[in-house]
Chains A and B, each alone.
Chain A
């Protein structure tokens, strides 16, 4: 299965600022996915990122708040913009495996103060 490196692993940010999370995969993948995991809640899909096209956002998530880049088949970034304490969460990138199932990065633990 693919190996995903995600950074930063954690950060504490001031409200109103932005944070860019990077996700690097050790093999080429068509689709990459960004999830948010809030305490006690389900993993929630933010958007799907295909290389060479605009990301597809789920209901409740907008590009202005969570811009995504996908410059090649092994890399993607998610930016959390104009942060508020409500954005404090774990953000995870993932890819879909050959035999199905998703491989996840270790996540970015974000605290907004």
Chain B
């Protein structure tokens, strides 16, 4: 079993739709959870970062963590064509630069105008 699993997609939605992206993980010791967005031919950029179980909202984006189920989600409201990218979940055991980050394989999202 891989440490972090993520449906690779591709996922295609119409503009304005609510998008749900999900990851599951196997190691309950993960404490910090991140979502990265990667546009084509670019490096990943940090989108959301959360520590505790529950929801964290930032504009149109909501990150949700359920540690009991080892399941994290990213919701995008009112999706826009500019949201078309690959979304990678990531997690680590600690928050220092010495803590290794484990990435999911990414979900490719296309938002159709």
User: Which A residues touch B96, using CB under 8 A?
Assistant: 96
Q: In whole angstroms, what is the CA distance A44 to B49 when docked? A: 20
* Majority secondary structure, B binding face: loop
**CB–CB A92/B105 < 8 A:** no
A19-52 to B contact mask, C-beta < 8 Å, 1/0: 0000000000011000000001111110000000
Within 8 Å by CB of A109, from B34, B41, B106, lies B41
Q: Mark B82-100, 1 if CB is under 8 A from A, else 0.
A: 0000001010000111101
> Could you tell me if B42 and A106 are in contact, using CB atoms closer than 8 angstroms?
yes
A101 contacts across to B, CB distance below 8 A: 34, 46, 49
Which A residue's beta carbon lies closest to that of B8?
A40
Q: Are the C-beta atoms of B43 and A100 separated by less than 8 Å?
A: no
Known: A30-B97, A105-B43, A106-B41. A100 touches B32 (CB 8 A): yes
A107 in contact with B97 (CB, 8 Å): no
Q: Is the CB of B42 within 8 A of A42?
A: no
Within B59-108, the residues touching A (CB, 8 Å) are 88, 90, 95-98, 100-106
Q: Please list the residues of chain B having a beta carbon within 8 angstroms of any beta carbon in chain A.
A: 2, 4, 8, 32, 34, 41-46, 49, 88, 90, 95-98, 100-106
Give residues in A with beta carbon < 8 Å to B: 4, 6, 9, 30-31, 40-45, 92, 94, 96-97, 99-107, 109
Q: A30-B97, A43-B44, A102-B46 are in contact. List 16 more A-B contacts (CB 8 A).
A: A9-B41, A42-B103, A43-B90, A43-B103, A92-B43, A92-B44, A96-B97, A99-B49, A100-B32, A100-B95, A101-B46, A101-B49, A103-B46, A104-B43, A104-B45, A107-B43
What are 11 A-B contacts defined by CB distance under 8 Å? A30-B97, A40-B8, A42-B4, A42-B88, A43-B88, A97-B46, A101-B34, A103-B46, A104-B43, A106-B43, A107-B41
